A and B are shown apart, each in its own frame.
Chain A
Amino acid sequence: MEPLDRDLDHSELELPAEPMMLDMGPAHPCMHGTVRTVVELTGERIVRADVQVGYLHRGFEKMCERGTWTQVFPYVDRANYISPMLNNVGFALACEKMLGIEVPERCQWYRMALGELARISDHLTCDGAMAMELGAFTPFLWMVKAREMVWEVLEEETGARLTHSFGRVGGMAHPPTDGFKETTRATLDQVLKVVEECERLLLGNRIFLDRLEGVGPITAADAISLGWTGPCLRACGVPYDVRKAHPYLRYAEVDFDVPVGVHGDSLDRFLVRLAELRQSARIIRQALDRMADSGPVNVDDPRVVLPPKEEVYSTIEGTIRHFKIVMEGLKIPAGEVYSYTEAGNGELGFYLVSDGSGTPYRVRIRPPCFLITSGLERVITGQMIADVVPCFGSLNMIGGECDR
């Protein structure tokens, strides 16, 4: 006999429902980049989630093994494409570590200033997008306006708004422009003004706070076990920042704080990024103050740095030097290295293997986003379906970094 409806237990408050499978992505307006999240719902509550990142696959670690070391820069640009300068600098530092060279002090300050500008652009994008996805469109436009100001500085310096390919092993593609310091200082003032306005708009908004507060929390222990770094980890109260823990460039010589959160929820992640913006501005101001107005930017090492063009065209030594670096690629001694820096979303590591030739033998990238995205499942399980959007937004997944 088939069971009749009246045999069902009516004591439960909710009507019994079949669990529902729902695909969010890979093409969903709220999925930054192509990522697919399969969620299993009971009512509106997520009981199971499966995050799949394989939809963006360029195989760019493999691509890096084809050209010269210098030709890797455009690829790392496209890992975290919101803050490519940080990737450029990270890769350059990894190569320099293997070569055993250190760029001149002026270049170090320059790299820090440009890198922190990129971090500002990264955080502005993430926080702006979070607000927009919760319906607050105005702050998004304002923050993107501020980001545009940052990008204008970067464009002035590098010639490109987004994918700069500006880093070089042993230095940078060009020295700072004459007006770099002035423009940057002025831009920072404007950017911080916009940030303040947005902050007033959002943090006084009940709806915005309700959607974030206590949503998608994660404990510090969980975050560490997942390999989280960067703002997402710091939002859990863990003050780990590569710039403080293992200072590189001149970070040991500048004053800045590492903002941390308390609850590890979406709001904390939002707030940590806002606070970091201001710290980045602090760092940039100090870097600009201490960067010399003249002096070499590139190391003086014919093995790695291209000669000035006028020498290439007029002397045989310059031609040979140019030729060896361009045609054969600069040679990095055989060996391996792990070098890591604080990128927009956390620890960006490069594990490089060189066989002594002009072509990388292996380029392994440890992108912060790949590990953070792997924690999305834990963050959204148990949340409401509508909370996937702010949770996902607060992790700031960058598709390019999840390319495995």
Chain B
Amino acid sequence: MPTFKLDDREIPFEPGETIIQAAHRAGIEIPHYCWHPGLSVAANCRMCLVEVLPPPGRPALSLAVMSWDESQGAYVDQKKPKLQPACQQGAADGMEVRAETSPHVLRARSSVQELLLLNHPVDCPICDQAGECRLQDYWLEHQSSSKRMRDEPVHKPKAVSFGPTIVYDAERCIVCTRCVRFSAEVAKDPVLSVRQRGNLNEITVAPGRSLDHPYSLMTEYVCPVGALTAKDFRFKARVWFLRSAKTVCQGCATGCNAFLDHDPRTGAVYRHRPRENAAVNRYWMCDEGMLDYRRIDERRITAAAVSGEASTLGSALDRAAVVLREAPRDRLGVVLSAQHSTEDNFALLGLARDVLGATSFFLGGRPAGQGDDVLRDADKNPNTRGVRELLGATPLGTMPELAAKVAAGAITELLVLGADVGELPDASALSGARVAVAVASAEGPLLSRPYVLLPATGYGEADGTYVNRAGLAQHSEEAVPARGDARPAWKLLAGIAARLGKDLGYRKLTELRGALGGAAAPAGAAE
């Protein structure tokens, strides 16, 4: 592999890579605003300027400048090297690049930073970006001085609504065009562009349009400063109080890697952010997924119930064991859930197949929705493939097939995980059967009148494995404490089995995963 020298360190690179790409891969971060590894190169912020030494025997590219000489008290002619943007300059074998070791580069960074802050408003106290803002970080790292301009800064529109999800503040904007490029290149909807010139330029939405493509929240995420803020997160929390858990998005079968940001003091969840994974979602997530975290607190079931009456968890489990023991095994339908983790479904399978001897299995989940060729999948369940793989050769029916069997009187009792009825318009087609035991985290059509209802933890409250459409098993971490009485569904199901006199053989997640074998091993999940 060819190499170049960056500040006396040899950096290997693939032919065609730029300096910043190769350095990024080697773990060296050259400061930048406009460059993003997933977007085209704009080279407009000038923060990543580096000094490229000329090949041996060739003169250096240099500029004639005038600089103030204190001793002479006058401007004198001087030469300074022509710096190159590291994001655009391709790496060449044997090339010698100076960044931290070049006084010209350090001075350029400081000057660029000073320029970017020239018209910046004093907004940190009211800006959602504060705490994760490049302007703040780079000021301390690369400038650390006050601006010299004494003029009134240029004023521009503030709090402009760009669409249903995004608010734009032109004064904070450094016009790096990341949002413009993202919309055009990744979301394939060039709805944003730049208008005006110089210090008057700003981002604008195409006339007659609003920023409403399915990846609009990503524009906020790629924004290195506080110019674009998400309406969903605006003024909700300060980021330095938040902690992040590594989760897997539950919005569809793509299984985008995400960070779930939550406040450990209150257990409240605040936002979803994409977590880089080249094999799944690269750097991106869709709006649906980024807002999907809100389901954690939507229509939650936080307490057990028997016949609609509130009950303690213990007596509800006792009741569940009794009704399941009495249920006729040949007419017991078991609904697995593509919304739940592999662990939960594995425990349900263990209880239904090995303890109760049930034979009819069906797959529940949310109905199909819209998909596209960027990230979104039409299957809106995170674990469809995981459940299918779990059953292997055992037949797994659809919800309409279950409805047909119920109508024919072949199934009269149901053991249900989750609350969704899949492709069925509603649960009326299933009214011929009794939902004997339901384990679910949120209200749904299946739960109109369950006999025993057990509260399960939702996404973000428990560790779980989800297998995406490509067959990649990924772990999602626990972020916040379980709501109310909720317990992981597998624990509840194992509890029922124990009350039926059968030990499923696991009391801890690690034991369960051991029993699961390879099915729960994360494959290729990037950090």
| A interface with B by C-beta (< 8 Å) | 302-303, 311, 313-321, 323-324, 327-328
Quote the shortest CB–CB distance from B21 to chain A (angstroms).
27
Interface-located stretch among B25-33, B49-57, B118-126, B287-295:
B118-126
B135 an interface residue at 8 Å Cβ cutoff? yes
- Asked whether, in the complex, the Cβ of B122 is within 8 Å of the Cβ of A313, the reply is yes
- Asked whether, in the complex, the Cβ of A321 is within 8 Å of the Cβ of B240, the reply is no
- Asked whether, in the complex, the Cβ of A318 is within 8 Å of the Cβ of B146, the reply is yes
Residues of chain B in range 135-179 having any CB-CB distance to chain A below 8 Å: 135-136, 139-140, 143-147
- Give Cα A6–Cα B288 distance, bound, in whole angstroms: 100
B130 an interface residue at 8 Å Cβ cutoff? yes
- Asked whether, in the complex, the Cβ of A320 is within 8 Å of the Cβ of B135, the reply is yes
The A-B contact count (CB < 8 A) is 49
B117 an interface residue at 8 Å Cβ cutoff? yes
| B interface with A by C-beta (< 8 Å) | 117, 120-125, 130-131, 135-136, 139-140, 143-147, 240
Q: Is the interface of A mostly helix, strand, loop or mixed?
A: helix
Contacts of A315 in B (CB 8 A): 122, 146-147
CB-CB nearest in chain B for A324: B140
- Give Cα A317–Cα B115 distance, bound, in whole angstroms: 12
- Asked whether, in the complex, the Cβ of A316 is within 8 Å of the Cβ of B120, the reply is yes
- Asked whether, in the complex, the Cβ of B117 is within 8 Å of the Cβ of A316, the reply is yes
Quote the shortest CB–CB distance from A69 to chain B (angstroms).
15
- Give Cα A303–Cα B135 distance, bound, in whole angstroms: 15
- Give Cα A392–Cα B309 distance, bound, in whole angstroms: 69
- Asked whether, in the complex, the Cβ of A320 is within 8 Å of the Cβ of B146, the reply is no
Contacts of B146 in A (CB 8 A): 311, 315, 317-318
Contacts of A320 in B (CB 8 A): 124, 135-136, 139-140
Q: Is the interface of B mostly helix, strand, loop or mixed?
A: loop
Contacts A/B (CB < 8 Å), 18 sampled: A302-B145, A315-B146, A316-B120, A316-B121, A316-B122, A316-B123, A316-B124, A316-B135, A316-B147, A317-B147, A318-B146, A319-B124, A319-B125, A320-B124, A321-B139, A323-B130, A324-B139, A328-B240
Q: Which 8 A-B pairs have the closest CB atoms?
A: A302-B144, A316-B120, A319-B124, A320-B139, A320-B136, A317-B146, A323-B124, A319-B122
CB-CB nearest in chain A for B117: A316
- Give Cα A314–Cα B140 distance, bound, in whole angstroms: 18
Contacts of B147 in A (CB 8 A): 315-317
Quote the shortest CB–CB distance from B27 to chain A (angstroms).
16
Contacts of A314 in B (CB 8 A): 122
- Asked whether, in the complex, the Cβ of A302 is within 8 Å of the Cβ of B117, the reply is no
A315-B122, A316-B120, A316-B121 in contact; A324/B136 too (CB < 8 A)? Answer: yes
A303-B144, A311-B146, A323-B124 in contact; A317/B139 too (CB < 8 A)? Answer: yes
CB-CB nearest in chain B for A328: B240
- Give Cα A328–Cα B140 distance, bound, in whole angstroms: 12
Q: Which of B135, B136, B143, B240 has the most CB of A within 10 A?
A: B136
Contacts of B144 in A (CB 8 A): 302-303, 321
* A-B contacts besides A311-B146, A317-B147, 4 pairs, CB < 8 Å: A303-B140, A320-B136, A320-B140, A324-B136
Quote the shortest CB–CB distance from A320 to chain B (angstroms).
5
Quote the shortest CB–CB distance from A307 to chain B (angstroms).
9
- Give Cα A323–Cα B120 distance, bound, in whole angstroms: 15
Contacts of B140 in A (CB 8 A): 302-303, 320-321, 324
Contacts of B139 in A (CB 8 A): 317, 320-321, 324
- Asked whether, in the complex, the Cβ of B240 is within 8 Å of the Cβ of A327, the reply is yes
Quote the shortest CB–CB distance from A325 to chain B (angstroms).
9
- Give Cα A316–Cα B226 distance, bound, in whole angstroms: 13
Quote the shortest CB–CB distance from B524 to chain A (angstroms).
31
Quote the shortest CB–CB distance from A314 to chain B (angstroms).
7
